[in-house]
Structure formats: structure tokens, C-alpha cells
């Protein structure tokens, strides 16, 4: 697959709770791993507050520059759930309670004897032209509008929506990776690593230092779509630093 045909993605997490430090994100981390395995590399991620204008601006910018945008959060029944309306606005679409989404909620709450009140009915607000994303956990659907996939923030629901959505998206060649951890500082390995980068231009080679027990070590991560090339790079790296492998 030519490089310019490889799909890519942006992730947009919507929620004050991440930006205040109250909650540590898990959806972005989960989805980044899933997309990488599916061959849709993530080029950028953003976290914005529950603010209409910021969501609209981020959706427009990210949708224009990426094959796919995946959002997390802000599609529940409360006052701070404003993502669906913001995504509709970003594309100039009308949004209202839609019959198909309403039917899903009616069926779900009927079996539980729960009232489908005005707040819950807000979760059936779907932009014109969007297709629904199945929510097997709690019925209220996500949706896809243009190249933007709008999903819930609750991790159990988010993960179920990703599982429903991802098989239908065309992935590129899966990205494979191997890691070698060396008991050396990055400064010792930088020069040989640059040679490796030069000799394997088709691979992505990253150097990730960690601080353990008062000393630096470094993990070299080699990623690419051709397993044989990754093997060749790792073999050379392991031979060069045989005495330093963790």
C-alpha cells in the first residue's frame, strides 16, 4: 500500500475531568492500541473541555486532516453532554431526536421499567445523515457523521462501541513492533541508533528512556509493516549492544 493511501486517525477526548487531573484517561490509550493493531496509525490526539466552541473547532480541524476522527465523551443525558450538538454544528447539520435512536432507547428502558424521561431522550439526538454505532451495554447509541465517529466516555461503553465500529473500517497493513531494553543512557546509544535509522528508512525507530533505581535505561522500539526488516534491525541492534541488554 502506498504511503499516501495509508489511513490515519485523530482521537478527540471531550471532558473537563481529564483536564482537571481528576481522572486519568483510559479511552485514548485503549483506542490508540486498537487502531495501531488495525493498521490505522494515530497521528494526533486532543483533549478539550466541555465547551461548545472548542469542540466544534477541534472536530473541524481534525476531520479535515485525518482519515478518521474518533471522539470519546459527552453524549449522555446531563447538561454537560454537548458533543452531539457540537459535531452536528461542525458539519452544519440539523440535529434532533431521531426515530431509530429513540426506538433503541424505548426498547431498552421498557425491559427495565425505567422511564424514558426528557433527559434520557436527549441521548436520541442524532445529526441528520449520521449512522448509528451500536451500544450493547446501555443502548444509547454513538454515531458516525462524515469521517467522525462519536462514542461514549464511560470506558465499558466506549470499548463496546469500538468493538462494534472497528471491523467495518478499512485498515492499512498492521504495524508490527519489537522492543529491546538496554541498561545504558540514551547518550551512549544515540550515534549507533542514528546509523540504524539511516539504514532502515522504512522503519519507525523510537528511543524511550526510563529512570529506574537511580539510573537511566532505554527501550528501543522498532516499528514497521515488514516483519523481516524489523528482525534485521533488531538483530543488528542486539549484536551491537549485546552486553547491555536488560
Of 129 and 163, which CB lies nearer to its own copies in the complex structure? 163
For the CB of residue 129, give the shortest distance to its own copies in the complex, in Å.
26
- Smallest Cα–Cα separation from 102: which of 126, 127, 78, 73? 126
Of 48 and 148, which CB lies nearer to its own copies in the complex structure? 48
Of 94 and 211, which CB lies nearer to its own copies in the complex structure? 211
Among 6, 30, 146, 238, binds its own copies (CB under 8 A): 30
- Smallest Cα–Cα separation from 54: which of 31, 77, 71? 71
Q: Of the listed pieces 127-135, 141-149, 182-190, 230-238, which binds its own copies according to CB under 8 A? A: 182-190
Q: Of the listed pieces 77-85, 94-102, 142-150, 230-238, which binds its own copies according to CB under 8 A? A: 77-85
User: Taking CB under 8 A as the rule, does residue 3 contact its own copies?
Assistant: no
| Distant-in-sequence contacts of 102-108, Cβ < 8 A, 24+ apart | 104/132, 104/139, 104/140, 104/141, 105/139, 105/140, 107/139, 108/138, 108/139, 108/140
**What is the C-alpha separation between 238 and 230, in angstroms, rounded?**
12
Strand 68-72 and strand 95-97: the pairing is unpaired
Mind giving me the DSSP string for 14-30? E-HHHHTTSS---HHHH
Residues 155-174 within binding reach of its own copies (CB under 8 A): 155-157
Binding mask 188-217 for its own copies (x = CB under 8 A): -xxx-xx--x------xxxxxxxx----x-
Among 3, 4, 5, 20, binds its own copies (CB under 8 A): 20
User: Taking CB under 8 A as the rule, does residue 54 contact its own copies?
Assistant: yes
Of 98 and 184, which CB lies nearer to its own copies in the complex structure? 184
Of 129 and 209, which CB lies nearer to its own copies in the complex structure? 209
Among 6, 39, 47, 244, binds its own copies (CB under 8 A): 47
Of 78 and 111, which CB lies nearer to its own copies in the complex structure? 78
Residues 101-140 within binding reach of its own copies (CB under 8 A): 114, 117-120, 122-123, 137-138
Torsion of the alpha carbons at 95, 31, 22 and 210, rounded to the nearest 10:
-150
Are the C-beta atoms of residues 69 and 93 closer than 8 Å to each other?
no
User: Taking CB under 8 A as the rule, does residue 175 contact its own copies?
Assistant: yes
Q: Of the listed pieces 38-46, 85-93, 94-102, 225-233, which binds its own copies according to CB under 8 A? A: 38-46
Neighbours of 23 (CB within 10 A): 12
**What is the C-alpha separation between 101 and 134, in angstroms, rounded?**
10
Among 7, 27, 28, 139, binds its own copies (CB under 8 A): 28
**What is the C-alpha separation between 134 and 67, in angstroms, rounded?**
21
Amino acid at each position: 500500500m502506498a504511503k499516501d493511501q495509508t489511513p490515519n486517525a485523530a482521537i478527540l477526548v471531550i471532558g473537563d475531568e481529564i483536564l482537571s487531573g481528576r481522572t486519568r484517561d483510559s479511552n485514548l490509550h485503549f483506542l490508540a492500541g486498537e487502531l495501531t493493531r488495525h493498521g490505522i496509525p494515530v497521528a494526533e490526539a486532543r483533549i478539550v473541555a466541555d465547551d461548545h466552541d472548542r469542540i466544534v473547532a477541534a472536530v473541524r480541524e481534525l476531520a479535515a486532516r485525518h482519515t478518521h476522527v474518533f471522539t470519546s465523551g459527552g453524549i449522555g443525558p446531563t447538561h454537560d453532554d454537548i458533543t452531539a450538538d457540537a459535531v452536528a454544528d461542525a458539519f452544519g447539520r440539523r440535529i434532533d431526536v431521531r426515530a431509530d435512536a429513540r426506538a433503541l432507547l424505548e426498547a431498552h428502558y421498557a425491559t427495565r421499567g425505567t422511564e424514558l424521561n426528557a433527559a434520557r431522550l436527549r441521548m436520541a439526538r442524532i445529526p441528520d445523515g449520521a449512522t448509528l454505532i451500536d451500544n450493547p451495554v446501555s443502548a444509547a447509541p454513538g454515531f458516525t457523521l462524515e469521517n467522525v465517529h462519536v462514542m461514549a466516555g464511560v470506558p465499558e461503553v466506549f470499548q463496546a462501541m469500538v468493538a462494534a465500529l472497528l471491523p467495518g473500517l478499512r485498515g492499512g497493513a498492521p504495524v508490527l513492533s519489537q522492543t529491546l531494553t538496554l541498561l545504558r543512557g540514551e547518550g551512549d546509544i544515540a550515534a549507533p541508533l542514528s546509523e540504524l535509522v539511516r539504514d532502515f528508512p522504512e522503519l519507525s525507530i523510537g528511543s524511550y528512556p526510563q529512570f529506574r533505581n537511580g539510573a537511566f535505561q532505554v527501550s528501543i522500539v522498532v516499528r514497521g509493516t515488514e516483519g523481516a526488516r524489523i528482525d534485521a534491525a533488531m538483530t543488528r541492534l542486539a549484536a551491537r549492544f549485546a552486553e547491555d541488554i536488560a
